[in-house]
Structures are given as structure tokens and as C-alpha cells.
Structure 1
Amino acid sequence: MAVGTVICASLWEEFTSCGQDQVKSDPNNKEDSEDILELKAKGAIVFVVAASLLLIILYFFMSSRFVWILIVLFCIGGTEGMHFVIASLTTRFFPATGQMTVNLPCLGEVLVLSLFILPLCFAFAIYWAATQGSPYAWIGQDILGICLMITVLQLAQLPNIKVAAALLGTAFFYDIFWVFLSPLIFHESVMIAVARGSGSGPSIPMVLRLPKLFDPWDGYDMIGFGDILFPGLLVCFSFRYDKLTKKSIRDGYFLWLSIGYAFGLSATYLALFLMNGHGQPALLYLVPSTLGLIIILSAKRGELKDLWNFGDGRSSTRTGEA
């Protein structure tokens, strides 16, 4: 699921915008879309501080009430993600639906399509939240999570691998510290303790879950959103770079980074097996298999400098920074 999510997010704009250049309100039309958030190197520092504070808060104040706050936030994000995905696909196959609008008080011009889709997406999220204890709740959680991550990967973009190195490098050490080194301070792995939850009540929803086959304890294989989003940003960048520089699939970077990401995930689960299920920092394997791969491959091709500084000096009135 993780590999499919990353590949789907990379190809999303290419697929959903096909043949819709003339559609006024196409969700993927760059003239009408929300501002793209272009990440900057300083965002890596903000990430590690904010993520560490959140992790510590979760560790010390983990409770059913606090988890429900996260569930509400997840439902809001998942609803918006589902709306984005369904609206994009609908306007792709039925372009006329992207042109029908209505003026509403306080809201202004709104797509008629959104008036139908948003309530359905919201109802889906509420139903999932109310039935988390069911054996099939993981399906709804994964649908909401995948839609949310596809949306995030459309709105947030890496400009070059210089920023990617700062962000993924920071996330790499963050993951290692909170899994392997935090026991030296807190006497247990903070990351594993938070992921495990309180043992009763609802669990933190920011993961994709898949039931383990032939498991007598009905356990789940899980992967956190960060282990998809951080490498996913780089894989999406590689696709945009290949497209802008008109590279073939073989001579580009997208194919190799997709394979590298799949290899890194396989290495993660192999390490879990060899360590008898002891939690592993997935980015320990995913960062070298994606960021390390693109650096080595581009250096061999003599394109490292271009990738490192790609996009520097460009100005865009619609692109934000973080």
C-alpha cells in the first residue's frame, strides 16, 4: 500500500489533469488550485522540534481523550483528502462537473460537485470513527489515510535534493533517536511506546494498517504516515524533474526511486523479522534507499549539481514557502 500510495501521488496530477486544460474549476488546474507549499531547508529544523514536542506530549499525556482529539483531526484531514481525490477523478472523467458552480452566503462560489461529495466524505469518516472496534475498521482508516497523503503530496513539494537532504536527513536522525536512543533517557523507546498506545481504547490513527496473514493474535502490519510522506516527497520530485527535463523512464530517476523505496520497505520488514518484531525506525532504511540512491545515481550521471540546485532562482507568485 505504501509503495502504491507514493507512485499514485507522483502520477496524480499527470493523470487527473489530462485533457482538462480548459476546465475552469478543475481541482488540478494550477491557475485555480490552492497555493503549492514549496518546502525549504529551514523547515527541517521546524519539523524536528515540532515532531519531538508532539511525541513527548503523546508519551507523557497519552489518554483516550487525547487520542480522540487526534482522531477528530484525522477525520477532518481524511474528509478533505477524500474530497480532493474524488473531485479530481470526477472532473477528469466528467469535465462538465468542474464548471457547475453556485454562490452561497459567506462561502462565495462553490462547486456543485463539492456540495455532493463533502457530506458523503464526512459521513464516511464519522462512520469509521464510530466503528473503530470492528474487524474491518482498518479498511476505512487506510482509505482516509491514503487520500490524505495523496492530497498532502500534491500541496507540498520539494524544489531540489538540497532541501530533500536537509529534510530527510533530519527525519533520518529523528527516527533513529526516538526508537533506539530514547531508552537511554526515558528507559523505553518513546516512539514504540506511543505507537503501541495505552493498550485500551482507540489507537492513534496516523498509520496504515493491514491484517497479518495467519496470525493467531489478529495483529496488524503498520506503517506510519511519516514513513510514506518523507520519501514520497522525494519520489514525487523525481517524477516532476524527469517530466521537466524530458527524461525517459530508464534514464530518469522516478523508476529507480520507486524501486528504491520498495527495497527500503522490504529491508525494514526483514529487520523486523530478524529482530523478532522489535520496532524499527523505517527511515533508517528508506532514506538511504531513496535519498542515497538519487545522490549516487545523479553523481554517476554528472547531474548532481543540477539536481542539488534545481529550481533555485525561480520566482512564483503562487508558491508558498515553509
Structure 2
Amino acid sequence: MTQNIYSRIHLAYSLVDSSQVSTFLISILLIVYGSFRSLNMDFENQDKEKDNNSSSGSFNGNSTNNSIQTIDSTQALFLPIGASVSLLVMFFFFDSVQVVFTICTAVLATIAFAFLLLPMCQYLTRPCSPQNKISFGCCGRFTAAELLSFSLSVMLVLIWVLTGHWLLMDALAMGLCVAMIAFVRLPSLKVSCLLLSGLLIYDVFWVFFSAYIFNSNVMVKVATQPADNPLDVLSRKLHLGPNVGRDVPRLSLPGKLVFPSSTGSHFSMLGIGDIVMPGLLLCFVLRYDNYKKQASGDSCGASGPANISGRMQKVSYFHCTLIGYFVGLLTATVASRIHRAAQPALLYLVPFTLLPLLTMAYLKGDLRRMWSEPFHSKSSSSRFLEV
């Protein structure tokens, strides 16, 4: 009896450990921030389209921002397969491709972190610098804020390569999370269910069953395996001597968020896929909430089905799904503490986000529209959504 009470107290204490609290807060903040960055990008693109249409006097049907990638049903079905192939390549040939993979990851992290810093740099440069773009020849034209954010990002990546500090790795992983949530779109609830269901099976298989086939937990090994520092590899290739570039640490790649506990005895880890994939769903429902708010404004406050209470009508899909994400993350944490082993977080995150969303959409009468073609093609005039 005493042992059971002690184990429960220990479990409760581990859940409020600083590493777990940091993981919860940061992952939720990244999803919320990335979703609103995505919504603001839509507003900016709509304004640019209106300006272009008014200046040209005609409508350009191909006005979608080329930097935004929309996932269709075929891509949603094959993405888990592609992820599995990439995972196997990293598992079997990590030693051969680790330097190339590290460099590519560093380049992507530099661009993503510059995107994360851009609003802050725009705020800092607005009083002292006009928003005119500076030409760099074939490289393109950039504002002072874009140049500042890119310079700071390059500096951070260089310090990370030299030190390998976990905090800098987390910063780069945060940039990757926000950029992927902001630039990737789920067009409908059907595509969302296909993608998240496939990734749930992918996550469960590679965490629970890969050890029976490959005699090792493929997911955990790839996620935790450090890579050789490119500076060290370059020093050895060029024979620069034993004291040049040899004291740099191996790098843990920014494919995850890690936070140390208050005692420093362990790290809490969460893969960026466990943030980005539910984050894409949150981004989708935020866009739908905004669309529905515009539509209800255009129809002078038309209400939903008569059997739905006014209080439920006021609950947004974004709030419902975000609460589900929190509960799913909490459940995954409890499961990992009970079983004392790595858990596929999507096994808990996908049901706790999709099922409440599907239930609420059915009760509100929006399920059919959200399932296939949730958005009209017309541009909206609303600029902000209260959350």
C-alpha cells in the first residue's frame, strides 16, 4: 500500500517536472503561433491579390502564393511511406549520409529560424528604416528586417555548430516547427484524417514493432543518434592538424525538442512531427473558424442547427482541438512514465484531436462541408480572429 502511494506521488511529481512543463508550454505556443502566422500570411496574400487585380484591371486566376504547399489526398497517403523510407535510410546508412544530412538540416533551420525572427526584426527596424527592398542582384531583393533576421539566424546556427548546445538546437527546431505549420496547408478534413491516420500507423509501427524486425527501436535510435560535426569532418579531410576543429562536439540534430529536468538527471524529448502534424490540423480549423466567422457576418448572424445550444455554437473548433492536443500530450506523458519506455505520441495526439473535432463538426452541422470543400474561393475581408 505504501509502495503504491509512493509510486503515485512520484508519477505526479514527474508530470510537473520542469522538463515536462516546458515541453507542454512550448509545443502549444509553437502550434498557436504557427497557426496565426499562417492565417496572417493568407490575409497578406489576399491584400496583394486585391492590389494586383486593381492595378491590372483583371483577375488573375493563378494568384496563389507559390511558397505555400497544399497537401492533397495522394500526398497524404504516401507521406507515411516516404517517411518510412527516409527513416530506414537514416537507420542503415547514417554514417555515410550524416554530414550531408547535417548540412542540409542546418541550411533549412537557418531559413526557418529567420522566418521565426522576422516579425521581431520588422518591429525593431520599422522606426529607423523604411520597408524598401534592397537589391542583391541575382539573389533577389530583401528588406532590412529580412536581412537582420537572416543574419541573426546564421549567427545562431554557427554558434550551435561550434557548441552543440541543446538550447540552440531547440531554437532551430522551433523555427522548423513554425515554418512548416505556416507554409503547409491541409485543404479539408478528409485529407487531415488520411494524413494523421497514416502517420499514427507509421509512428506506432516504428516505435512498437520495429525492434522485432530490426533488433532495435528504429525510431528512437534515429532520433537520438548524434551526427559528426562538419567542422571536425572538414578538419580531418584537409589534415589541418589535431588541434584544429577537433574539439567541437558531435551534434544532436534539431528534429526534436529536448528540455532538461530541474535536477539535470534526464531530458524530456518530443519530436517535431508530434508538433507539426497536429499543428497542421490546428491551422486548418483556425482557418475554418475564420471563414465561418466571415460567413456568419455576411449572413447577419445566422445561427447553426436548432438543437445546438448557443454556448456550443460559441465554442470554436480551434479551442476544442487545442484542448484535445493538450489532453493527448498529457496522456502520452503519463503512458511513458507508466511503461518507462518511449511512446508513439501520435497514438494519443491523433484520437484526442480528431475525435472531438469530428464530434463537434457533426453536432454543429459542419461535418459535410469541412470534409470535402470547406472554403469558398472568394477572398475575405476580415483581418483578425479573436481566440
Q: TM-score, normalised by structure 1?
A: 0.83
- What's 1:83 paired with? 114
- What's 1:154 paired with? 182
- What's 2:59 paired with? none
Match of residue 155, structure 2, among 112, 118, 123: 123
- What's 2:197 paired with? 169
1:184 is the counterpart of 2:212: yes
Structure 1 gaps, min length 5: 25-30, 317-322
1:21-32 counterparts in 2 under 5 A?
Answer: none
- In 2, distance between residues paired with 1:312 and 1:33? 17
For structure 1, which segment, 31-40 or 281-290, has the greater mean C-alpha deviation from structure 2 after superposition? 31-40
The alpha-carbon distance between structure 1 residues 32 and 140, as it changes in their structure 2 partners (threshold 3 A), is farther
Deviation at 1:189, TM superposition (A): 2.1
- What's 1:36 paired with? 68
Equivalent position SS for 1:182: helix
1:142 is the counterpart of 2:191: no
Deviation at 1:88, TM superposition (A): 2.9
Deviation at 1:203, TM superposition (A): 2.8
Match of residue 296, structure 1, among 341, 350, 359: 359
- What's 1:104 paired with? 136
1:211 is the counterpart of 2:260: yes
Asked if 2 retains the 8 angstrom alpha-carbon contact of 1:210 and 1:222, the reply is yes
Deviation at 1:21, TM superposition (A): 8.9
Flag the structure with larger Rg.
Answer: 2
For structure 1, which segment, 93-102 or 189-198, has the greater mean C-alpha deviation from structure 2 after superposition? 93-102
The percent of aligned pairs where both chains have the same amino acid is 27
- In 1, distance between residues paired with 2:349 and 2:43? 31
Asked if 1 retains the 8 angstrom alpha-carbon contact of 2:259 and 2:267, the reply is yes
Deviation at 1:59, TM superposition (A): 1.3
The alpha-carbon distance between structure 1 residues 94 and 104, as it changes in their structure 2 partners (threshold 3 A), is closer
Deviation at 1:23, TM superposition (A): 9.2
Alignment deviations for residues 56-92 of structure 1 (CA, whole Å, 9 cap, x no partner) = 11111233x6434333222212211222222233335
Q: Match of 1:44, as an amino acid?
A: A
The alpha-carbon distance between structure 1 residues 98 and 173, as it changes in their structure 2 partners (threshold 3 A), is farther
1:269 is the counterpart of 2:330: no
- What's 1:67 paired with? 98
Q: Match of 1:230, as an amino acid?
A: M
Q: Match of 1:308, as an amino acid?
A: W
The alpha-carbon distance between structure 1 residues 36 and 123, as it changes in their structure 2 partners (threshold 3 A), is same
- What's 1:252 paired with? 316
1:221 is the counterpart of 2:268: yes
Asked if 2 retains the 8 angstrom alpha-carbon contact of 1:209 and 1:220, the reply is yes
- In 2, distance between residues paired with 1:249 and 1:88? 33
Deviation at 1:11, TM superposition (A): 2.0
Asked if 1 retains the 8 angstrom alpha-carbon contact of 2:105 and 2:253, the reply is no
Deviation at 1:15, TM superposition (A): 6.4
Deviation at 1:310, TM superposition (A): 2.8
For structure 1, which segment, 140-149 or 157-166, has the greater mean C-alpha deviation from structure 2 after superposition? 140-149
Q: CA RMSD in A?
A: 3.1
Match of residue 238, structure 1, among 280, 285, 290: 285
Deviation at 1:191, TM superposition (A): 1.1
- In 1, distance between residues paired with 2:124 and 2:367? 39
Asked if 1 retains the 8 angstrom alpha-carbon contact of 2:207 and 2:218, the reply is yes
1:284 is the counterpart of 2:347: yes
Deviation at 1:16, TM superposition (A): 8.2
- What's 2:16 paired with? none
- In 2, distance between residues paired with 1:280 and 1:159? 29
- In 1, distance between residues paired with 2:375 and 2:292? 15
Asked if 2 retains the 8 angstrom alpha-carbon contact of 1:48 and 1:171, the reply is yes
- What's 1:27 paired with? none
Deviation at 1:34, TM superposition (A): 4.6
The alpha-carbon distance between structure 1 residues 203 and 116, as it changes in their structure 2 partners (threshold 3 A), is closer
1:3 is the counterpart of 2:66: no
Tell me the matched-pair count.
302
Asked if 1 retains the 8 angstrom alpha-carbon contact of 2:116 and 2:179, the reply is yes
Asked if 2 retains the 8 angstrom alpha-carbon contact of 1:295 and 1:304, the reply is yes
Q: Match of 1:140, as an amino acid?
A: L
Q: TM-score, normalised by structure 2?
A: 0.70
- What's 2:245 paired with? none
